[in-house]
Chain A
């Protein structure tokens, strides 16, 4: 089952903060976050594990709420370079942790 991301789109001015959520209807053990800029490859940001610590990539951090079966991505003091589409992915089962089911994405636009 595909995780659900919210919001679908966010528009910010440089320096503002944003939160992107990723929710699943099934139990989560890990959540992967990727960012994709227009016309480019998705780039790995971080992996959150059940029971693990909050993770950070530059000024982007993420948390994992097991009870809510949700992960949240926190973008602090946003920069122009943060613009792109953010995807969360959850392991789809099978023989590899790299077999992921991705959400539909959240489009983040940061203006000067």
Chain B
């Protein structure tokens, strides 16, 4: 169990640029989640995948955000035409996806800190 891996750890970009983050979940986990966290707040749900299928997206998620999980392994989150309001920590989490309230423990990665100048 090597844990959830995210890269890069930090990303600084100029407003209007596109950025892409990668998440490698724990290998036997079926579900993969993306959350966003701003300073002083709890993580906010963005989207999640069951294997390669994207099952839910937050209504707060702008059209500029897109996520993929090809082959049900790693996932990428892309933000197009970044805005200063996109600055946040982007967290990835994975779980076994056993559809049990007691077993849906999330294992988080250390996140990608995005700063949009």
Q: How many residues on A have C-beta within 8 angstroms of the other chain's C-beta atoms?
A: 29
Complex: how many Å from CA A96 to CA B35? 14
Q: Is the interface of B mostly helix, strand, loop or mixed?
A: loop
CB-contact partner of B104 in A29, A39, A40, A98, under 8 A: A98
Is the interface on chain B under 10, 10 to 19, 20 to 34, or 35 or more residues?
Answer: 20 to 34
Complex: how many Å from CA A100 to CA B42? 10
| A73: min CB distance to chain B, Å | 14
Indicate if the CB atoms of A41 and B45 lie closer than 8 Å: no
Q: Which residues of A contact B40 (CB under 8 A)?
A: 104-105
Given that A42-B108, A44-B107, A98-B31 are contacting pairs, would A92 and B45 also be in contact in the complex, using a CB cutoff of 8 Å? yes
| B106: min CB distance to chain A, Å | 5
B-contacting residues of A (Cβ < 8 Å)?
2, 29-30, 32, 34, 39-44, 47, 49, 87, 89, 91-92, 94-105
